[in-house]
Amino acid sequence: MEHRKSFFEKGMFLFDGKHVIVRPWEPNTKITKISVKTVPIWVKLMGLDLKFWGTKCLEKLASIIGKFVRVNDLTLDKSLLGFARVMVEVGIDQHFLEKIMFMDEMGQNVTVLVEYEWLPVTCTKCKGIGHKEMQCRRGNGWVMRPSQPI
């Protein structure tokens, strides 16, 4: 039961690269829509010099994007040297930076490109997740067009 409790406290997981929300279930549980405001995503920091690949430095850089969650194991081991990879928790409707600029210990300006492995898709009409306004089922004008005959 202790392991079960800690599992459900996390709430959201990545499975096969997709976000899954996990909730406890009992026979009398009513299914309700939950409000998701933040999601964890993997971010690649491109062109970041190896001297900045320490956990504290990566945590500071990641906190510019969102709430730092963790560093990828291959980044910590310096096994995959093409980019540093960190997980951050971001707001579903926040602005996503394309680059981070900072000054190093020598006073030199450093620019790091930011690549997101996935970004949340939100609807401006209903504020829902997973679709854009053109596919929104709320309001007028939405018509279901199956790709194949039913």
What was the pLDDT predicted at 11?
A: 60
Domains: count for the chain? 1
∠ CA 57-84-94, rounded to 5°: 80
35 falls within a domain: no
Which of 114, 125, 132 has its CA nearest to residue 43?
Answer: 114
Grade residue 13 by pLDDT with cuts at 50, 70 and 90: low
| Residue 84 three-state SS | strand
123 falls within a domain: yes
101 falls within a domain: yes
- The full length of the chain comes to 150
* CATH number, position 92: 3.30.70
User: Which two three-digit tokens encode residue 142?
Assistant: 């939405």
| 119 contact partners, CB below 8 Å, separation of at least 6 | 41, 96
Task: Provide mean pLDDT across the span 65-86.
Answer: 92
29 falls within a domain: no
Structural domain boundaries enclosing 58: 41-137
Say how far apart CA 18 and CA 35 lie, in whole Å.
18
33 falls within a domain: no
CB 99, CB 113: distance < 8 Å: yes
Task: Provide mean pLDDT across the span 36-56.
Answer: 91
Say how far apart CA 120 and CA 136 lie, in whole Å.
15
What was the pLDDT predicted at 146?
A: 53
CB 75, CB 58: distance < 8 Å: yes
What was the pLDDT predicted at 150?
A: 47
90 falls within a domain: yes
Which of 68, 46, 42, 67 has its CA nearest to residue 55?
Answer: 68
148 falls within a domain: no
The continuous run of DSSP H or E covering 105 comes out as none
109 falls within a domain: yes
pLDDT tens digits for range 94-143: 999 999 999 999 999 999 999 999 888 888 777 777 778 888 877 654 44
For the chain, the farthest-separated pair of C-alpha atoms sits apart, in whole angstroms, at 65
